[in-house]
Amino acid sequence: MPFKSISIDAYITQQKQLHPTIDTLQLKKDVETALNDFHADKKCSCGNDIWVLGSVGKERTCFSCMLGTTPTTNDLEIEGAEYKGFNCRTGRHMDDAPLEELSGYFDDDGFELNPDIAPKPTLCSGCIHDGHPFRGIVCKLFRMGQIGGEEFQCCDFQADK
């Protein structure tokens, strides 16, 4: 699972050290409201789970839409916001796109995917398929399907000689 958990109290303490004048009662309330929204299944406009810590007192947004990258185990998230998965949704739905523009990647729910925000696992760098013009499409689909998983696995891996 991406993200490193931090308890609400530890987060408040950390913020208090960084910003001594901060209103900790209000901050705690804001964190709890954001966490409640997470549990109420409120999603980012792209369909991803919201990033609670990044959404405190702000619009509810996922990590990727806010920072343009995928979360790692070094990124903090409030304890209890169990990440239910991650995808590469761009926020655009099939039904909203003009037919002549329909190309690229879409998931089963009809959301457009951006494979370029899927991180490239280290395994791929040592594979003969890496960088292959046609093969690469399948590689991207594999990567998108396993984002947030424990360890990337690929049944098509072939070691580069």
Shortest Cβ 145–Zn ion spacing (Å): 18
The helix or strand, by DSSP H or E, that contains position 142, with its residue range, turns out to be helix 135-145
Site string for Zn ion, 35-74 (x = CB under 5 A): ---------x-x-x-------------x--x---------
Site string for Zn ion, 118-157 (x = CB under 5 A): ----------------------------------------
Binding residues for Zn ion, rule CB under 5 A, total 5
Give the integer Cα–Cα distance in Å for 86 and 77. Answer: 14
Candidates 27, 64, 62; CA nearest to 42 is 62
Do residues 52 and 81 touch, judged by C-beta distance below 8 A? Answer: yes
Site string for Zn ion, 86-125 (x = CB under 5 A): ----------------------------------------
Give the integer Cα–Cα distance in Å for 25 and 117. Answer: 36
Number of H helices, E strands in the chain: 6, 5
Shortest Cβ 66–Zn ion spacing (Å): 8
Residue given tokens 């916001």 in the structure block: 81
* Binding stretches for Zn ion (CB under 5 A): 44, 46, 48, 62, 65
